[in-house]
Structure 1
Amino acid sequence: MNFFKDRINKKYFEISMYVIFTCIVIFLLSRFTDQLPLIAGTVGSATKWVITIIKPVIVGFIIAYLLFPMLEKLEALLRKLKPLKKKSSIRGLAVALQGIIILLGLFLIVSLLVSVITRQARAANSEDIIEGIKTYADSINNLYWDLMDRLDKLNINSAEIKSSVDTFMNNIGSYLLNLSSGLGNLANNLKDGVATAFFSLIFSIYFLLDMPKLKTYWGRVFEIILPKRVKTVIDTIIKDADRVFSGYIRGQAIDAFMVGVVVSTIFSIIGIQYAIVIGLLIGLGNLIPYMGPVVGYSSIVVVGIATSDYKSMVIAAVSLLIIQAIDGNLIYPKLLSTSVNIHPMIVIISLTVGASIGGLVGMIVAVPTGALVKVWFERLIKLAEKKNLDKEKKDSING
């Protein structure tokens, strides 16, 4: 043993161990890098599988969360009926009644839209439509050749412009070809969407039936496994989130419905075509801040130009301006009085981030999320301010 100790230099031995360890780490990292595409693919597939399973549960919970206040009111109304006063639980009956009301409402809306579109489509003369398309095509063709003649007279090389136009038309053709080839993927996505919607509805029914029990159960679980201070913080976070999201999303949905109904009614009185469709689009656009007016005026202009009814188009635009002014200054603030007012700059930033992350759904959820971040930030500032005041009081007492 002493023989090896005398002949092994401790310093060089440690260096050798470090070198060997480094070589092993480099070898393992290289092997990991070689297998990185396979690992990434496996992780991606597993994540996609988990998301596919969890998505209906999350969507179902969101639906139940939004419908729960309506369910409580229906349950309270049913409690007032004499035959139901003595029953211990009428939650199932209230859920069934709520489902019937929602289905009837959707059926009436869809029936009304189909009826209006069909009636106005029949009212349009097919020969006039074909003749109008030919006229527009001839006008575009004449405009193109007239432009080429003028460029030739001005000694401007029209061949390059013609080549650019041809390239543009070829790009449009390629886009349409790619669009047609993507219809298969669209069908698959539609099938997956229908399946997700079906299971989401099932989960939402279960959540509506068992919401109080779930709240009691998980409240008890958190109370047992979490320290009291952590439990208090989590309760505060949940209350803030509930206040902001419920106040904003429900208020936004009610406001969008009211604006859609008012716009459809007034536009029908004005006589603008597809009034109900435009009202529906404006109502849906109102779910996203600043999007309602954009959708509304764009729809009015498109329909007005397509039908050549410029007088109705101007009247509809002025009417929409008045409706948006009344809604923005009176109705909208009243409906969202339970939520948090945030600066327009924060709204725009939230919408940009939400659109990049979750598309349309991300834009809808982005604003209340930004409001919730603002609430938590202000709460932290108040806590820090309180600590500073307490510290100043202690320093003044000690001093």
Structure 2
Amino acid sequence: MLMKPEKKYLLLIFYICLTVTGIFISYNLVFNIGTILGSILSLMSRIVGVLEPLIIGAVIAYLLFPLTDAMNKLLSKKFNMKRKHYFISVILTYFCVIVLFLLVIVGTYLLIGGRITENNNLSTMVTTIREYIAKYNELFKYVNTKITESGLSGDLKTYLNDTIVYISTSISQSIDSIFAFSRNVGSVMVNMYIGFFLSFYLLKDYDLLKRNYDKAMLLFFEQEKIQSINRTGQEINHVVSRFIRGQVLDAFLVGLISSIGLTLIGMDFAILIGFTAGMANMIPFVGPLVGCIPAIIVGVLSPDPMQAVWAVLVLLAVQQLDEVILSPKIVGDSTGLHPVLVIMAIIIGAAIGGIIGMLLAVPTMGVIQLFAVKYIKKRESERAEAQRTERD
């Protein structure tokens, strides 16, 4: 049956309008992609900000689960408590964490001999930091003047001055970031406090959450697909957990040993610098270098500039101890990544997310490698199966 002329024209007009609308939407999407992405990222940032305590709680629960699981297995062997032993394991885990936290605080106080309460208060510490910043500015001005007065060629002078300005600007921005973070430390501590309590309930109700997860998965997937998803999740967890948990323990030990060493040579802010070096140590390859920067700056600006040399020697000795003994025992080859892939991951992570991006880059690359290897093996298996079928 032929279509009536008026219906044909109406259909043609409809398709024309649809095409024009599609072109208009595509045009606006392409030429406003920056604004659209910015709005999406802003919305995601707000959502993450609202959910920050829950995210922190989930991370803490994830990190503490192995200890809880180990205690649970130990209690199951020692005592015949079918339902109570897991809750007791959670209680013991958090008791150990709180005791460890208190020991760190007391140990830090004893390590610095109570100098914060005896000789300093908050205003004195702020004044001291400002004096360091003023000395640092004077140092760069002095170096800049000496370069200008030197007999070097014009191009070399320009290059050196630009380098000094770049370093000075980078350090200033880092200091500004630290002060900005310190201004927000109250909200951060509140979120950490809430997250800590949320993590307790996440661990306590682990079995309930797992049962609800299994029920939800059955609503959307077949049993075979669920098993495949769970296997993949276990493999991802194996890669990420080994790296993160090992790195956290390694960073704590490096920070503790560095703090003791810097305190023994009489460096100001030894605890802060030591644990900063420990956290920086979590970044492969470049982390140890980043960890030395605060020690060098504080040492150079101190009454005895040679303290910078001693601080670097202390941190280098700690790094050697970490490379030879601590890291192989604690972390090992946790991700199985080639060094080139590690460096690429760090560069990309730094470009995308700064310091946090660098910290997360290696386990993320490890997960990507996991999926790539699984895909290659699957393709090889399919190709081998196809070749066998052709021969038959």
Which amino acid is 1:91 matched to? Y
Equivalences for residues 287-326 of structure 1 within 5 A = 287-309=282-304, 313-326=308-321
Q: Distance in 2 between matches of 1:54 and 1:149?
A: 52
Q: Deviations over 1:59-117 (max 9, x none)?
A: 21111011111122334455577xx6547313333333332332232233334445628
Q: Root-mean-square deviation (CA), in Å? A: 5.0
Q: TM-score, normalised by structure 1?
A: 0.69
Q: TM-score, normalised by structure 2?
A: 0.70
Partner of 1:349: 344
Q: Deviations over 1:120-165 (max 9, x none)?
A: 89679x9xx9xx99x979x8799699979969xxxx9xxxx9xx9x
Identity of aligned residues (%): 26
Q: Distance in 1 between matches of 2:46 and 2:139?
A: 51
Equivalences for residues 1-399 of structure 1 within 5 A = 47=44, 50-78=47-75, 85-86=80-81, 88-113=83-108, 116=112, 119=115, 187=183, 189-190=184-185, 192-223=187-218, 225-309=220-304, 313-337=308-332, 339-396=334-391, 398=392
Q: Distance in 2 between matches of 1:324 and 1:301?
A: 16
Query: Per the alignment, do residues 31 and 149 of structure 1 end up closer, same or farther by CA in structure 2, a change over 3 Å counting?
Result: closer
Q: Distance in 2 between matches of 1:141 and 1:359?
A: 25
Shift of 1:228: 3.3
The secondary structure found in structure 1 opposite 2:336 is coil
Shift of 1:375: 1.2
Q: Distance in 2 between matches of 1:340 and 1:319?
A: 29
Q: Distance in 2 between matches of 1:32 and 1:352?
A: 30
Highest CA radius of gyration, 1 or 2?
1
What runs of 5+ residues in structure 1 fail to find an aligned partner?
none
Q: Distance in 2 between matches of 1:16 and 1:287?
A: 62
Q: Distance in 2 between matches of 1:363 and 1:275?
A: 25
Q: Deviations over 1:38-68 (max 9, x none)?
A: 9999978865554344333232111101111
Q: Distance in 1 between matches of 2:102 and 2:357?
A: 27
Q: Distance in 1 between matches of 2:262 and 2:14?
A: 83
Count how many residue pairs are aligned between Structure 1 and Structure 2: 361
Shift of 1:27: 9.1
The secondary structure found in structure 1 opposite 2:83 is coil
The secondary structure found in structure 2 opposite 1:288 is coil
Q: Distance in 2 between matches of 1:107 and 1:15?
A: 76
Which amino acid is 2:293 matched to? S
Query: Per the alignment, do residues 353 and 56 of structure 1 end up closer, same or farther by CA in structure 2, a change over 3 Å counting?
Result: farther
Q: Distance in 1 between matches of 2:37 and 2:244?
A: 37
Shift of 1:227: 1.9
The secondary structure found in structure 2 opposite 1:90 is helix
Shift of 1:245: 0.9
Q: Distance in 1 between matches of 2:318 and 2:45?
A: 44
Preserved CA contact (<8 Å) 2:61 2:199:
yes
Q: Deviations over 1:202-240 (max 9, x none)?
A: 321111101233224423442464123322321221011
